[in-house]
Structure 1
Amino acid sequence: MGQPEWTAKADAIWSVIEKVCAVPDAFEMANLVPDAFAMDGQGRITPGKYSSEAAQYLYMWLGITRREALPNYFRQMFDHFGARPSVPLNTNRRFYISADLPVGTAMRFEALYASGEYRKLYDEITYIFTYMLEHGPGTLWEGWARESNINHGYLSHVAVWLSRIFLGLDIPDAVDRTVRIAPHPCGLKWAKGCTVAGSGLVSVYWVMGDDRFSLEVSVPQGYRVNLTLPDEVYGWDNTLEIGGQTLAIPPRQKEYPGIGQSFRLSCVKSPRS
């Protein structure tokens, strides 16, 4: 901030990282991006010997590798790896060091979220955490095995994923006094939660049915909501109740920025949907 030489140095470092992390987008992944690189005095880069699953999610999370440029690489990372791969019989899993639970898998979750893989993320979260609850004392584990520490605070971050992704309530921006709300039901019937915003609370409550979706949002005075509707209700008939008025809103509009007060939204499936 106000230090152009720092910005220039950061841009130079970033360009090197992008170069050394480039991978061919082949159908068969012969190699993953190495975990480490060495640079000599002439700027020559030598990749390390080892590639791990976890490192790939770090590169995805940071935006170094991008899905639009590497669709097959992303598809195989998401489908062939993870705690519950949709393609369980594959050779890729044998060749690389698997992601651990508290760090590697957490970065996988962030990569899935950033890539819009909400249903896969839901399936993996419920699979992992349901297993913990059914085979432990009701606490969160540090690793994959219950023979190790099964009372650890790191994975309490699951509450953030549940709130931000499925409930759809993101962390409010205290500077701009905005809050992003973007529910992803993924088969859930309802969700409810709240968080602090300034001196008040933001609360979200939604119910998902076969042919109806309802959403109630309450925000402190002075806050504005940037709303994104779920994919499941795209094309439905929508009405917005706000300030004592009921407004019909376009059925094929997903983004509703700058809603300036508490509101209720109702989405009803129509014959044309």
Structure 2
Amino acid sequence: LYTGDRSYASRYYPNLLKVLDTWYPSVTDSAGLLSKGLNNTGGYGDYAFLDRTGRITYYNANYVQALNDAARMARWLGHEADAQRWEARAGAVKDAVNAHLWDADAGAYLDSATGPVRHAQDGNSIAITAGIADAERAASALAHLDATTRRPYGNAFMDNDTIFGDASQRVYAFTSYPEIVARFESGRAESAVDQIRRTYGWMDSHDPGITNWEGIGPGGSLYEGAYTSMAHGWSTGVLPALTHQLLGARPTSPGYATWEVRPQPAGVSWAQGQLPTPHGPLQVSWETAHTAFDVTVHVPGGTHGALTFPMDAREVTVRAGRRVLWDGRRHSDRTVQVSDHQVTVSGLGAGTHTFTALRRK
């Protein structure tokens, strides 16, 4: 997606086939869900050596994501039959997750269908980012996490302590990343920024003050005492979240051949960033105030993309210099569209483009 390296994708495509069409079916149960314990998989404890068994939402949500990502890659490489097969399986796994792992009483996805009832940050968040949860379930799951996992130093990765003592007091920045993205992607940008401020603000205001911790324990302590890594790559998910969601810039096809800029300010007054692409940097900067939103996009040659404004189209006038692109009722040409009350300007090619959205009185 970031490099457009077709030869790399082609070289490893047989491995992808083997993983998705041989390995995963060997650990799939009669409901179509991955089940930890099948085919001698009971011993390994995933990213935090957690004692989870059976149908686990986290694994199955990642499986849906993997199938859909692989389908897009397959289609890019010309393997249409593979793409269709994986998309169909992703749909089936999605339905099975909603049928077997949704806890209607809690309004959230179960961590596992086996053992004590608990609800995890990883499974609920990735169920949203992978498109398993519809809008109603996404809102409910995030509300459950708000009610049960919110801490002054972030959001805990479990809503109770049935998996081990103090689990409901531990914050993993690693699994906080998909929750932050889930909040942005489900229209809750303010809560995403609040979670960033609590999690990374805690790290920033405590020793050593310049690095991202592996984890935060009860009361904001080092979660593994002296064994805690205080500079951990797994905790840097805030960077793509700030880049792709808050700044709003991300690729929409391999190698940034196409891209989008969809800012979500969430109370932040300005942002600027530069994304490395095979064609040169894609540069974005924006500044927002009560009455105006100003944005500049510098586009590298060989790419084109679209900009979506974060303001209600019914309340703003959009200009490019002196030219009015949208006056609240009419757009200037076919490159300007309005959908879900948001103005999008498409077909932005090489060069620098500056726009202003003015709130009408």
TM-score bucket (shorter structure): 0.7 to 0.9
In structure 2, C-alpha distance between the alignment counterparts of 1:248 and 1:53, rounded to whole Å: 45
Distance in 2 (CA, whole Å) between partners of 1:182 and 1:10 is 27
Q: 1:197 to 1:173 in 2, by over 3 A?
A: farther
- Aligned with 2:254: secondary structure? coil
Deviation at 1:219, TM superposition (A): 0.5
Map 1:159-170 onto structure 2 (within 5 A).
159-170=239-250
- Cα separation, 2, equivalents of 1:253 and 1:132: 36
Instruction: Give the corresponding residue for 2:292.
Output: 212
- C-alpha contact 2:299 2:348 (8 A) present in aligned 1: no
**Structure 1 residue 171: deviation in Å?**
3.5
The alpha-carbon deviation at position 10 of structure 1 amounts to 5.2
Q: Using the alignment, how far apart are the partners of 1:193 and 1:19 within structure 2?
A: 41
Relative distance call for 1:142 and 1:70 in structure 2 (3 A) is closer
- Say what the alpha-carbon RMSD is for the aligned residues: 3.1
SS in 2 for 1:122: helix
- Corresponding residue to 1:61 among 112, 117, 129: 129
TM-score under structure 2 normalisation?
A: 0.60
- 2:208 aligned with 1:128: no
Distance (whole Å) between structure 2 residues aligned to residue 240 and residue 260 of structure 1: 14
- The answer as to whether partners of 2:145 and 2:159 remain within 8 angstroms in 1 is no
> Superposed, which structure 2 residues align to 1:100-179 within 5 Å?
100-137=171-208, 138-144=210-216, 145-146=221-222, 147=225, 148-171=228-251, 173-174=253-254, 177-179=257-259
Q: Does the CA contact (< 8 Å) of 2:263 and 2:309 recur in 1?
A: yes
For 1:34, the aligned partner's letter is: L
The answer to whether the 8 Å contact 2:255/2:278 transfers is no
In structure 1, the gaps of 5 or more residues are 38-46, 86-91
Bigger CA drift: 121-130 or 232-241? 232-241
**Percent of pairs with identical residues:** 20
Q: TM-score, normalization: structure 1?
A: 0.77
Structure 2 residue 249 is matched with structure 1 residue 249: no
User: Residue 118 of structure 2 contacts residue 160 of structure 2 at CA under 8 Å; is this kept in 1?
Assistant: no
The offset of 1:213, in angstroms, is: 1.7
Residues 202/193 of structure 1: CA separation in 2 closer, same or farther (3 Å cut): same
Q: Give the structure with the higher percent helix.
A: 2
User: What residue identity is the alignment partner of 2:251?
Assistant: I
What residue in structure 2 maps to residue 43 of structure 1? Answer: none
Q: Does 1:35 align with 2:111?
A: yes
Please tell me whether the aligned partners of residues 110 and 120 of structure 2 are also in contact (alpha carbons under 8 angstroms). no
Aligned match of 1:19 = 99
Question: Distance in 2 between the 1:159 and 1:104 partners?
Answer: 14
Counterpart code for 1:248 = L
Q: What is the match of residue 116 of structure 2?
A: 49
Q: Distance in 2 between matches of 1:5 and 1:216?
A: 41
Residue 71 to residue 157, structure 1, CA distance change in 2 (3 Å): closer
Contact preservation (8 Å) 2:291, 2:359: yes
Q: Number of residues paired by the alignment?
A: 249
State the alpha-carbon separation in 2 of the partners of residues 7 and 215 from structure 1.
Answer: 36
Contact 1:67 1:74 in 2 (8 A): no
